[in-house]
Structure 1
Amino acid sequence: MLTVSVLLILFVVSLLFVQFLKLQWMRRRFPPGPTPYPFFGNLLQMNFHIHHELLKKMAKTHGNVFTLWLAFRPAVVLQGFQAVKEGLTVHAEDVAGRPTSIVFDALTHGNGVIFSNGHLWKQQRRFGLATMRKMGVGKKDQEYRLQEEAYHLVEYLQNTNGKPLDPTMPVVHTVANVICSVILGHRFSKDDENFHRLVESFDVIIAFGNSIYFYVHELFPWLTSHFLSTCKEFTSSLDFVKTLLAKELESHKEKGKREENQDFIDYYLDEIEKTKGDADATYDEENLIQTIFDLFLAGTDTTATTLRWALLYMVVYPDIQEKVQKELDAVLGCSHLICYEDRKKLPYTNAVIHEIQRYSNIVLIAPPRLSVKDTELLGFRIPKDTVILANIDSVLSDPEQWETPDQFNPDHFLDQDGNFVNREAFLPFSIGHRVCMGELLARMELFIVFSTLLQAFTFTLPEGVKEVSTKFVFGSTMKPPPYQLCAIPR
């Protein structure tokens, strides 16, 4: 019996040693990086989290282009503005893929926009961008939807009568209803149970994305899906969202074709009809539901989280809040309906919004890219099917690009005369062929909602509260810690 145990141990050790040697041999083809270990690669060293501070330390040792091993899969990390910019734009087409994984496949089955590839991705993205333009995103035609939701948020805050509140849910509902209005053609009441569950379900799905459970599920999919409650909750939330979106689609179909398309679903159904019989067309109901899902996933949590940071920074930096309000009052007055075009007349307000995005830096690592063929990144040969991770945090806090990277400083976006200045290293929406499709809508939302709120209220800490933490809560997006404020009508 002892001999069998010894032999078994020797066999396992031999397997691990062979695996270790194999990894060392394979890593010679990639940029340098920390030593990977059998089975887990570098996941144990990272505590199953791709954390920006850890990447910063690794970059000091291995350079601004280095390799991590996620179990058996290599991932090349781009650190700092120059590495991210060159890595994602010099051979942009070569690194425009998305990696596949068990979780990504469960989310999308290769459909939609975010995690699709090849011809399907190009066609769906091109259609999405063109449709957004047709619907007036970036123009006055679309602003009424944003102004309406900003008005509902103002109305809600007025009803609090200056009492302390957590702004999380009202802000999330505002942003989610913008997406609902654009995509589904209607808004939900804040008391609607389906709407609440929709918001909560996306929160669960997003939280799962950068948790330890994501990586454990990738390694042991059968075990986790059957025995881990977190994975079951993820699957349940995913099923609910897809079912609700399918019902919205059926509702549109039952109403029949309208004289004019009103929302994204209308335009997509129209495209399905137009391209029937076209062998190259990828327009179908499955892709429609997935694209809607992707737009919700990318457009709700990110913008809502940024607005939550915006309100937190205004109570932490009341002098900056006061300067924004003085500019709004002097240029627009107290009753002007905020338009996106107003940003050109409000350089300080515009600078503050950009600094909120830079400093809060809610997406530390951009969604992973994939090399679709053998290519080169900053002098390193990168084989086909290599995962590429762009550290956006290292761009937005790059000391070579920002005068005071670790301070909240709107002057980063102003010249000596107080004029607004675009900065090349301002990349919260990433860069290259996979740049965020909803960037313009997000910019409009942030400007209109933020400016409308500061026009209507002064935000303060509750009485007796002297300070509040600004240390982010780590997740798929970096959220502020729970806090309360008072919205004092102006």
Structure 2
Amino acid sequence: MESVLKYLDWTSVGLALLVGLLSLLLLELFRWNSFRSQSPPGPKSLPFVGNLPQFSKDQMGIIRSLPKYGEMCSIFLGRKPTIVLNNMQLAKEAFVQNGTVFSGRPLLPLQAWLTKGYGIILANYGHSWRQQRRFALHTLRDFGLGKKTVEERVAEEAHYLIKEMLKQEVSNIICSIIFGDRFEYNDKRFAKLLEILNESIRLGGTTMAQEELKEDTTFHVENMMKSVFDLFIAGTETTATTLRWGLVYMMNHPDVQERCHEEIIRVLGFDRSPCMEDRAQLPYTHATVYEIQRYASITPLGLIHQTTEPALLRGYHLPKGSTIMVNLKAIMTDKQHWKYPDTFNPENFLDEKGQFCRNDAFLPFSLGPRVCLGEYLAKMELFIFFTSLLQRLKFSWPAGTPHPNMDGIVGTVRSPFPFNMICHSRETTH
């Protein structure tokens, strides 16, 4: 009798589990179909996992395919839809004309626990973000951003970069701006920067100390530490990654590399370091730096945004908390805006007279209130580093080495696969 009851108990448990799982599946299918019916079209997705399996196999292929679903489409990076804006007009309508509505940031539970919503990059749109961003911009200006002294520090670091054969230590630039000194590449003090920063906070009479006296201030140790960390991440990885793509493109297009070098030597010679004022006399080199950023598109979908209130966009009702991304890759390869959208060609930024010309569809730093606050510094670094490298060095692929997959490694930042290169001094060949 006991064995029969035991059998019946296990049967009941199994049936209950099965019914529960089926109920969850039916609820998920209902919820998933409801989302899909109310969202813009997009690639086929699956319940629970959405489009994650496709992204794991070919992320750049999926991103390149999104414009075929229209100017506005949906992807499922999990259980909820993310709205993707595929052209410049729609991106401006959302992020510029309605910037306060589309400038939020989704904060995942793990991020909330790690960052507490502090900092600049991932902080939600609001008082704390505005105060930290404003202070960061003012502080960078106080330390010389936009002045000749910063250009000199960038040129100095370019000299060391050439000497050290690109050891990916671009973070020294933002170190020298924030802390007033650069660090040798093997300097152990670099690991103690945050400890030094912590000590400086306790010094009286600083702008940090003044801000802490205000009632509505968001200035305290944790928030400032996160903001400085954001500046390091934004000012290091993106610039270094863009330079690596630049080297790949120069090795793939030796004619472009030679034309840049000849222009640089004609204007600067071998001895004078470049500065931002040289851009007018180096139109082809200037155009090449911009083309590297356009073609590399190191943040193909930008950083994720979130609506801060309900919104209406092109007939679609977006509830508060909807996640939004802009397809920067599509915008910067849109044939309506570019002469050579799908190939690497500096002529995209040159007019009929061979002079540099800007393009409104050039958006590597995104747009709207959340535009990258380090845009000017990044442009300065890239121009001076790239010009210095091509002034003195020649880059080429090792003989017989297969070229890396040009889709690269796609994460938050799209970077090239590791590669080997041959580097020759230019001065010994002249």
TM over 0.5: yes
Residue identity opposite 1:311 in structure 2: L
1:74 counterpart (69, 81, 87): 81
Q: Is the 8 A contact 1:396 1:426 kept in 2?
A: yes
Superposition map of 1:73-472 within 5 A: 73-117=80-124, 118-157=126-165, 167=166, 170=167, 172-173=168-169, 175-193=170-188, 195=190, 244-253=192-201, 256=203, 270-462=206-398, 464-465=399-400, 468-469=403-404, 471=406, 472=408
2:18 counterpart (9, 31, 50): 9
Unaligned runs of 5+ in 1: 158-166, 199-243, 258-268
Q: 1:28 to 1:468 in 2, by over 3 A?
A: closer
Q: Give the match for residue 30 of structure 1.
A: 39
Q: Is the 8 A contact 2:310 2:320 kept in 1?
A: yes
State the Cα deviation string for residues 351-382 of structure 1 (Å, max 9, x = none): 00011111111111111111111122233222
Instruction: Tell me how far apart the structure 2 counterparts of residues 480 and 71 of structure 1 sit (CA, whole Å).
Output: 26
Q: Return the offset for 1:91.
A: 0.8
State the Cα deviation string for residues 306-345 of structure 1 (Å, max 9, x = none): 1111122222211111111111121222211211121122
Q: Is the 8 A contact 1:183 1:292 kept in 2?
A: no
Instruction: Tell me how far apart the structure 1 counterparts of residues 403 and 58 of structure 2 sit (CA, whole Å).
Output: 27
Q: 1:253 to 1:98 in 2, by over 3 A?
A: closer
Q: 1:155 to 1:245 in 2, by over 3 A?
A: closer
Q: Return the offset for 1:398.
A: 1.7
Q: Is the 8 A contact 2:44 2:51 kept in 1?
A: no
Q: Is the 8 A contact 2:35 2:81 kept in 1?
A: no
State the Cα deviation string for residues 20-74 of structure 1 (Å, max 9, x = none): 213333454433445665433x1445355893421443442x4221223333433
Residue identity opposite 1:185 in structure 2: G
Instruction: Tell me how far apart the structure 2 counterparts of residues 107 and 338 of structure 1 sit (CA, whole Å).
Output: 41
Aligned-CA RMSD value: 2.3
SS across alignment from 1:429? coil
Q: 1:107 to 1:442 in 2, by over 3 A?
A: farther
Q: Give the match for residue 62 of structure 2.
A: 54
State the Cα deviation string for residues 213-243 of structure 1 (Å, max 9, x = none): xxxxxxxxxxxxxxxxxxxxxxxxxxxxxxx
Q: Return the offset for 1:76.
A: 1.0
Instruction: Tell me how far apart the structure 1 counterparts of residues 135 and 76 of structure 2 sit (CA, whole Å).
Output: 35
Residue identity opposite 1:252 in structure 2: S
SS across alignment from 1:75? strand
Residue identity opposite 2:200 in structure 1: H
Q: Return the offset for 1:129.
A: 1.5
Q: Is the 8 A contact 2:95 2:367 kept in 1?
A: yes
Q: Return the offset for 1:102.
A: 2.6
State the Cα deviation string for residues 93-150 of structure 1 (Å, max 9, x = none): 1111111103432442201111112100011111112222222212212112101111
Residue identity opposite 2:109 in structure 1: I
What number of residue pairs does the alignment pair up? 415
Residue identity opposite 1:92 in structure 2: G
Q: Is the 8 A contact 1:97 1:371 kept in 2?
A: yes
Q: Return the offset for 1:422.
A: 0.4
Q: TM-score, normalised by structure 2?
A: 0.89
SS across alignment from 2:101? helix
Q: Is the 8 A contact 1:352 1:410 kept in 2?
A: yes
Q: Return the offset for 1:278.
A: 1.5
Residue identity opposite 1:250 in structure 2: N
Q: 1:470 to 1:310 in 2, by over 3 A?
A: farther
Bigger CA radius of gyration: 2
Instruction: Tell me how far apart the structure 2 counterparts of residues 183 and 143 of structure 1 sit (CA, whole Å).
Output: 14
Instruction: Tell me how far apart the structure 1 counterparts of residues 410 and 55 of structure 2 sit (CA, whole Å).
Output: 13
Unaligned runs of 5+ in 2: 1-9
Q: Percent identity?
A: 38
Which segment is superposed worse, 136-145 or 419-428?
Answer: 136-145
SS across alignment from 2:410? coil
Instruction: Tell me how far apart the structure 1 counterparts of residues 307 and 57 of structure 2 sit (CA, whole Å).
Output: 23
Q: Is the 8 A contact 1:98 1:369 kept in 2?
A: yes
Q: Is the 8 A contact 2:55 2:62 kept in 1?
A: no
SS across alignment from 1:92? coil
Q: Is the 8 A contact 2:66 2:86 kept in 1?
A: no
Residue identity opposite 1:350 in structure 2: H
Q: Give the match for residue 6 of structure 2.
A: none
Residue identity opposite 2:248 in structure 1: L
Instruction: Tell me how far apart the structure 2 counterparts of residues 387 and 50 of structure 1 sit (CA, whole Å).
Output: 22
Q: 1:154 to 1:11 in 2, by over 3 A?
A: closer
Q: 1:436 to 1:109 in 2, by over 3 A?
A: same
